[in-house]
A and B are shown apart, each in its own frame.
Chain A
Amino acid sequence: MLKKFTAASWLTVLAAIAGIVGVAFMLKSSNIDTAYAYKTVSKLTLMGVCGVVLCLLAVWTPTVFGNHDIISTFGAVGAIALFMAVVGTMVSDRVLMIAGLFSYNSQNMVGWSVFYATVTGAVAFVLGCLLLIVASFMKNAKTVK
């Protein structure tokens, strides 16, 4: 299978890793303090994991069905949608806390820890999306003779 890998394949693998990092920091952000737990953390985890699985699918299926196959295409698109949905929920849930940190509540050290974990997770997910986008423009399977 590796013989059929292209640069796009490796970028997609990196996107999957970024997704794993994103899920890890999302969970960390949710577990630092009970006051900042995501109520939908299970759903977010499932979405993140599904996104990672779709990334891996987008790596594997071209080696079977050839370059730019439909499954890998919609796998990548699906992963982007899932990753961004997780990011959206994370940021939305943290808006008030972040606004507080940068105004009246800057001494909230727990809040800052949550903030950094959230930002790290969100950046990882967005990075994963960008890698997937770049990979989508590229050839994602070699023709092995």
Chain B
Amino acid sequence: MKRTGLWRGLTSLMCFFLALSIMAGNILEANAATIDTYMGTQSERMESEGALYDKFKPSAELLNADGTGNSHALIQKAIDLNRRQAYEGSVLLKNENNVLPLASGANVTLLGIRSHKPVLGSAFGVKVWGPVINLEQALRDNRTDFAHTISDSASTNWQTGETTIAPTMDGWTGDEFDFDGAGYGVNPTMIDIYEKLLASYHHEYNEGAEEVFDPREPSLDDIAAVNADYKDSFTQYGDAAIVVISRASGESHDYLPGGVVPGLGMDEPLALSQNERDAIALAKECSDKVIVLINSSSAVEIAELKNDPEVDAILWIGAPGAYGMLGVADILCGKVSPSGGLFDIFAARNMSAPAMQNMGNFRYANADGTVVRGGGMFGGNTGMYIMEAEGIYVGYRYYETRYYDCVAGQGNADSKAGVYASAGNWNYDDEVAYGFGYGLSYTTFSFDFEGEPEFKVEKKDNGSVDATATFNVKVTNTGKVAGKTSVQIYGQAPYTPGGLEKSAIQLLNYDKSQVLQPGESEVVSVVCDLQYIASYDMSLNGEGGYVLDPGTYYFAVGNGAHAALQNIMAKQGLAVEANADNAYEREIDESFIERTAFSVSKTGEKIVNQIPYSDWNYFQPGEVTYLSRSDWAGTWPKTYDQMTLTNQELIDDLNGKYYTIATDDDTSDIIWEEDNGTKFFEMWGVDYDDPKWERLINNMTLEEAQYLATYGGPSIPGAETIGTVETYMTENAGNGVAVNLNASKDTGAPWNIAVSDPNGNWHPEVFGNSPLTASSFNPQLCYDLGAFVGEESLFTGIPILWGPGLNTHRHAYNGRNGEYYSEDPILSGVTAMEFAVGALEYGLIAAPKHYAFNDQETNRSGVAPYMTEQRAREVELRAYQYAFEATKYDTPEFDQGMRGLMISFSKIGPVECTASVGLMTNILAKEWGFRGYAVTDIYDDFDIYGAVLTSGATCYDTRGMAGFYTNTTLDGGRFADQVDGSVINAQVFAGDATAQNAIKASVHKILFAMSQSNLMNRYDPTTRVVKLPVVWRTAYQTAEYAFGALMVCSAVLYLVAKLRKKEEK
């Protein structure tokens, strides 16, 4: 009797464990690629019998003599490049009495808790991983202490409110590195105090913006409570006091207007708190040399420091990355003269930007019951919007244009509207602390136009016009130390009051000089594409287009936008003190170039309105007034917080009714399964327009093409008919590839870093935030950063990078400004283009994000930003246009272009960017000639499958999904809930010719991008995927066999016992 119970129980128990093992196995296999990334395992490998790895390889300096990878050299190169990023990008804003550089051997005191724990990266997004060099080490030491200096970050669970702080890496047992630091003595007393205070004032090297912000700066009482005699240390370390003020940046959260913890002595999150002011006051007690480091990716309100005579120097350092503090130290000690210019304008009060009138949480008054579309897997709310009523007046374009109109006495510029810092009427000097592009050096430079600028106009066969102006600027170092400087060329188009809106000044292009010795000169040539001084006229011929209004155009060089504008104004005879010789005027009329010449894109496409629905007034006329310089006071944006939806087209768009999948089209002329023998491995170097692509894609089955057009990575499906295999292919981010060296997806590469390598745990996301790169105004640095990340991609086996960020800064409160370059589209576009072209040198496809209009993180999953198409094109899209046309790198035989893109969560007007044919096909592909991989953001818009796959988007970001055709299929639950009621499966497009052709086009773009990437290192006719016996696979399979066998045994023994019992009876 007992035995039947025993075997019966064991049968049940073993059944339970067997089921558990099967369940675990299924989940592990379905997420194998992700598990590999995080565990550092390799569960499958691409194998081939041919000679491979002949198309892209790392530079020789990163390889050992036998061709294997040298991890030490790789990390050393990252250290050097991050250091260069920091010293080229940091911006010296103030340097009274030449207090900087500090003398060698100085003993300094670091103040402010962030001097001990500065912001190096973002809490989420472009995080800095692994070991770092902090400020005190860079100033004091000459060898890294990676083993004890690991970056960390906090994670807050929104459901429970619990915050945990954890290092980004368990520990570092790899190499340490020598470096030449500043050689200063650093006050150990304050370091010790701040270290102790970190226990209660939690800070991490990676932090993000917070809706209700507290800088968590200890008070002087807090400091005294740790060590009452701390001021005694100032005597020994009083050569200078360096205060660090930090504001963090990160994905998914913004700063919000008035969003501060009460009682801190601050009314806005980017203003200084009382404790921060007290830290600066303490610095004044400590030393007669007070230096403030602004450690932020957003404009901090520092007008009070600018005007404080006891604050001697201000140096903006961004979020400098893992090793960037070495570059900061280089500037402080004078090894390098600073040469950066501000990425954004630093207003006295950030709320004075007109965009701030409409930033944050806005929901349609009648959203409930009207906007019925669900929020999707991201859980967003589709009833949210923002009204970008500032029009084209974003960042410096607003402040400088209003300044110009104040001086020129037009448009009620000198009124009280928009006053936040002026005592009376609006006054530039009160409203602005430091202008866009501005930056000081330890030396001085003169700028002189060398000869007449060269204007060229060339009409192309396709109807487009190439028109450029080349400015040869002789830069002379007129100071006493060596230094380099950017050469920024700005332009002004003629404005007619009441006519088309135009900024009084805009950056056209820039370059940077070499390091010039005192007295040395260099002629820097800057080529400006005149299409970027044209304006978009939505009413042109009733269909829209760019115009270059006849009139007098002005161009100028200057230390930032304000100086350039003043030079132009001096040329115009307006009452300003500036150098008119640094401005140039040119009459441009139709004898030089047609007014509408730029209404044909470089691809020959006629440019017309493509996103009229971006404008709220398109649906409900007259309800929104956009800011106009014809009347600053009368059009100053109001806060549009109670918009009511009445137009049915608008409501339908918000509810996702964009596309209905056809069922009975004639698709007989669309070729699939041709079986002509063409394989993917043959496509290396084949031009996009080569008919061979058509033959390749004709081989595929519709199902294979649909898989490829659906699952955009990280794991991308294979297609047997063309010889491709499922591959883990994409990863984040803009500051490095998010895969550890020893977790490479391409372990077959000759340079693969072995799991046993002491530096194998190194994580390549180490570089500083994007504004730091942009502020360098150095295209070559941006190229070199992209090229290095490209090399990282060879070591990590990732051919597509989801980055860099390329949205323009609409205002300082966007929590993600650290991932985007600038408020200026040209600065952003040049920086991204150089990065991407550099990356492609090593076969890495950089996919800038988020195309487009991701202007705030608040409600980012589906917020509807409304704006004029002029604003959309001239401000936000222009950054992408510059990068994607990549004209600089075009030759008569080769169109450079870009090969990757990530689409925004955001809408444009009421239409999802992912589903906007105007945005994805007509502008991106037809106007700019984009040919490449265009993926949605993570899990975005799964409920409008037909619309997304036919818009010009090439695929979805399907992170975590793998095991295609088996574990992950087209008829799984991911696309279960469609707005149009359609059922998604492999046959859904059988009767839809439009969708089938769109899928062909998407597959063409994806495969073309892949064919130009370092993925081709791994392809030949024998390429296949082999599953490997990793720990977790062996474990679950062993468990399945063991528990299966035990269950069967138990069941048999139970039956035997049962039979015996019956026989006994």
Contacts of A33 in B (CB 8 A): 374-375, 379
Given A33-B374, A73-B1054, A112-B159: A96 in contact with B939 (beta carbons within 8 A): yes
Partner of A95, one of B13, B31, B939: B31
Closest 4 CB pairs of A and B: A137-B9, A84-B19, A108-B379, A39-B973
In the complex, the answer to whether B19 meets A39 with C-beta atoms within 8 Å is no
Partner of A109, one of B1, B124, B379, B1058: B379
Contacts of B976 in A (CB 8 A): 34, 37, 39
User: Could you pull out 18 A-B pairs where Cβ atoms are within 8 angstroms?
Assistant: A37-B976, A38-B973, A40-B973, A67-B1, A77-B1051, A81-B15, A85-B19, A85-B23, A87-B23, A102-B157, A104-B938, A106-B159, A111-B379, A130-B16, A132-B12, A136-B13, A137-B6, A137-B9
In the complex, the answer to whether A36 meets B8 with C-beta atoms within 8 Å is no
In the complex, the answer to whether B30 meets A136 with C-beta atoms within 8 Å is no
B1029 an interface residue at 8 Å Cβ cutoff? no
In the complex, the answer to whether B124 meets A104 with C-beta atoms within 8 Å is yes
B1035 an interface residue at 8 Å Cβ cutoff? no
Given A35-B375, A95-B30, A97-B377: A80 in contact with B12 (beta carbons within 8 A): yes
Q: Mark B238-255, 1 if CB is under 8 A from A, else 0.
A: 000000000000011000
Interface centre among B155, B376, B942, B943 (most CB of A within 10 A): B376
Q: Mark B149-189, 1 if CB is under 8 A from A, else 0.
A: 00000011111000000000000000000000000000000
In the complex, the answer to whether B30 meets A36 with C-beta atoms within 8 Å is no
Contacts of B158 in A (CB 8 A): 106-107, 109
Contacts of A138 in B (CB 8 A): 5, 9
Q: How many residues of B contact A (CB 8 A)?
A: 50
In the complex, the answer to whether A37 meets B30 with C-beta atoms within 8 Å is no
In the complex, the answer to whether B12 meets A136 with C-beta atoms within 8 Å is yes
In the complex, the answer to whether B157 meets A106 with C-beta atoms within 8 Å is yes
Q: Complex: how many Å from CA A16 to CA B377?
A: 32
Residues of chain A having any CB pair with chain B under 8 Å: 33-40, 67-68, 70, 73, 76-77, 80-81, 84-85, 87-88, 91-93, 95-97, 99-112, 129-130, 132-134, 136-139
Nearest CB of B to A7, in Å: 13
Interface residues in B4-27 by Cβ distance below 8 A to A read: 4-6, 8-9, 11-13, 15-16, 19-20, 22-23, 26-27
Contacts of A109 in B (CB 8 A): 158-159, 379
Q: Complex: how many Å from CA A91 to CA B20?
A: 12
Contacts of B763 in A (CB 8 A): none
Partner of B9, one of A101, A111, A133: A133
B961 an interface residue at 8 Å Cβ cutoff? yes
Residue of A nearest to B983 (CB): A39
Q: Complex: how many Å from CA A107 to CA B252?
A: 9
Contacts of B374 in A (CB 8 A): 33-35
Contacts of A70 in B (CB 8 A): 1055, 1058
Residue of A nearest to B3 (CB): A68
In the complex, the answer to whether B11 meets A99 with C-beta atoms within 8 Å is no
Interface centre among B19, B27, B977, B1058 (most CB of A within 10 A): B19
B892 an interface residue at 8 Å Cβ cutoff? no
In the complex, the answer to whether A80 meets B960 with C-beta atoms within 8 Å is no
Contacts of A93 in B (CB 8 A): 973
Nearest CB of B to A35, in Å: 5
Q: Mark B370-408, 1 if CB is under 8 A from A, else 0.
A: 000011111100000000000000000000000000000
Q: Complex: how many Å from CA A132 to CA B377?
A: 36
Nearest CB of B to A104, in Å: 6
Residues of chain B having any CB pair with chain A under 8 Å: 1, 4-6, 8-9, 11-13, 15-16, 19-20, 22-23, 26-27, 30-31, 34, 124, 155-159, 251-252, 374-379, 938-939, 942-943, 959-961, 971-973, 976-977, 1051, 1054-1055, 1058
In the complex, the answer to whether A99 meets B19 with C-beta atoms within 8 Å is no
Partner of A137, one of B5, B20, B959, B972: B5
In the complex, the answer to whether A133 meets B1058 with C-beta atoms within 8 Å is no
Nearest CB of A to B292, in Å: 33
Given A67-B1, A81-B19: A73 in contact with B8 (beta carbons within 8 A): yes
Contacts A67-B4, A77-B12, A84-B20 known; list 17 others, CB within 8 Å.
A35-B377, A39-B971, A70-B1055, A80-B19, A85-B23, A87-B23, A88-B19, A88-B23, A95-B30, A100-B939, A104-B251, A106-B156, A110-B375, A112-B159, A133-B9, A137-B8, A137-B9
Contacts of A73 in B (CB 8 A): 8, 11, 1054
In the complex, the answer to whether B12 meets A68 with C-beta atoms within 8 Å is no
Contacts of B23 in A (CB 8 A): 84-85, 87-88, 91-92
Nearest CB of A to B858, in Å: 10
Given A35-B374, A37-B976, A39-B972: A77 in contact with B11 (beta carbons within 8 A): yes
Contacts of B8 in A (CB 8 A): 68, 73, 76, 136-137
Q: Complex: how many Å from CA A33 to CA B377?
A: 9
Given A108-B378, A129-B16: A35 in contact with B6 (beta carbons within 8 A): no
Q: Complex: how many Å from CA A49 to CA B1?
A: 31
Nearest CB of B to A33, in Å: 6
Contacts of A77 in B (CB 8 A): 11-12, 15, 1051
In the complex, the answer to whether B960 meets A99 with C-beta atoms within 8 Å is yes
In the complex, the answer to whether A92 meets B379 with C-beta atoms within 8 Å is no
Contacts of A92 in B (CB 8 A): 23, 26-27, 30
Q: Complex: how many Å from CA A38 to CA B974?
A: 9
Q: Complex: how many Å from CA A39 to CA B379?
A: 18
Q: Complex: how many Å from CA A100 to CA B23?
A: 21
Residue of B nearest to A115 (CB): B159
Contacts of B251 in A (CB 8 A): 104
Contacts of A39 in B (CB 8 A): 971-973, 976
Q: Complex: how many Å from CA A109 to CA B976?
A: 20
Q: Complex: how many Å from CA A76 to CA B987?
A: 40
In the complex, the answer to whether A80 meets B15 with C-beta atoms within 8 Å is yes
Q: Complex: how many Å from CA A93 to CA B157?
A: 22
In the complex, the answer to whether B377 meets A36 with C-beta atoms within 8 Å is yes
Interface centre among B158, B251, B972 (most CB of A within 10 A): B158
Contacts of A129 in B (CB 8 A): 16
Q: Complex: how many Å from CA A85 to CA B15?
A: 11
Q: Complex: how many Å from CA A116 to CA B34?
A: 24
Q: Complex: how many Å from CA A103 to CA B6?
A: 45
Contacts of A95 in B (CB 8 A): 27, 30-31, 960
Given A34-B374, A104-B252: A80 in contact with B379 (beta carbons within 8 A): no
Q: Complex: how many Å from CA A130 to CA B938?
A: 38
Nearest CB of A to B412, in Å: 42
Residue of A nearest to B125 (CB): A104
Q: Complex: how many Å from CA A19 to CA B375?
A: 31
Nearest CB of B to A93, in Å: 6
